[in-house]
Amino acid sequence: MTSPAPTSPARDAVDLSAFTTLRLGGPARRFVVASTERSCVDAIGAADAAGEPVLLLAGGSNLVIADNGFDGTAVLMATTGFEIDGAGMLHAAAGQDWDAVVARTVAAGYGGLECLSGIPGSVGATPVQNVGAYGVELSDLLHEVDLYDRRRGAVRTVPASELALGYRSSALKSTDAAVVLTIRLRLCRDGLSAPIRFPELARALDVDLGARVPAALVRAAVLNLRRAKGMVLDAGDHDTWSAGSFFTNPLLDAGQAAAVLERIRAQVDPNVVVPQYPGGTGRIKLSAAWLIEQAGFARGHPGPGGRVALSGKHTLALTNRGGAATEDLLVLAREIRDGVAAHFGVALTPEPVLINCKL
């Protein structure tokens, strides 16, 4: 794979709000665009050698940046490159737009990624978060990644088995020790989807759980479902001015889950059906969106001055309604987090990466 251009000249005091889907955040002291893997490594290596903090940017769909910005060098990953080899292995550069990659795999007659359609952001962010939707996670397909190891100052290839991939987590999350440069995914060469595991998607497709369907049909259905929830980027729709799902679905062990479910039924309705899903060995996953609604936060619930609000389509997205500051968003996030904790004793965890700010 090749990329078209080297690192751009550094600029000072560039407003980072233009590089996030929330359209929030202050300036970076120094800003560099890296359009090749080599220029990315060089820019990060130079900043590391100078003791300069580094913020990596790409799609900006999972970042909440403080109003006072970032006192260091922001490196925009603008690398491109996409190839599917004869064995059905996808090779994609970190700076590629994720949904464009999914669309190209489906158009080329490959399956596996269709349930991850419509997720905003870049390829390089997907293994960090182990992105997932509609019953599929990246870990189901990830083979390996090429990383720039900042401690060693070297590029190395790491198999997926060494990345500790879990629910919205990996060994790469909450650390800046390594930078994803390229990922490789094993695709389905028969053009069919992964088995349909998510009931909402099965209903939309009118198929049984476990069915395999032409990938293009699944992609279309997923995009329709996501649009209905304001989860497909649209510059004209403030419901999509968000970081996607702001809170992860809480994972509880059996004892915790029993106590929480008892508390929910006592406060909501003894006969209420609480959405819950398998969360791995001995654990149960609850729906953060459902908990938020049951705690009294309806769709469209406003934050300070109405400048931020819960999406009018989905209570898991916190949105910028125009003219907002990052602190407005954080005030709303704290209100929701604390309200769910007070009602049900469940601690919601933010999914986006918080830069120079905290809840």
Where in the sequence numbering do the catalytic residues fall?
168, 245, 351
Straight-line distance from the first to the last Cα atom of the chain, in angstroms, rounded to the nearest whole number: 40
- Decide: helix, strand or coil at residue 106: helix
Distances (CA, A) of 272 to 13, 260, 288: 52, 13, 16
Distance from the Cα of residue 53 to its chain's centroid = 23
For the beta carbon of residue 2, count every other beta carbon within 10 angstroms.
Answer: 9
Pairing outcome for strands 132-133 and 82-84: unpaired
b/e code 193-209 from CB counts within 10 Å (16+ = b): bbebebeebbebbebee
- Radius of gyration, alpha carbons of the chain: 20
In which residue are the tokens 């233009």 written?
18
b/e code 245-266 from CB counts within 10 Å (16+ = b): bbbbbbbbeeebbeebbeebee
- Decide: helix, strand or coil at residue 273: coil
Distances (CA, A) of 175 to 123, 182, 222, 306: 18, 18, 31, 34
Contact 340, 295 (CB under 8 A): yes
Contact 279, 307 (CB under 8 A): no
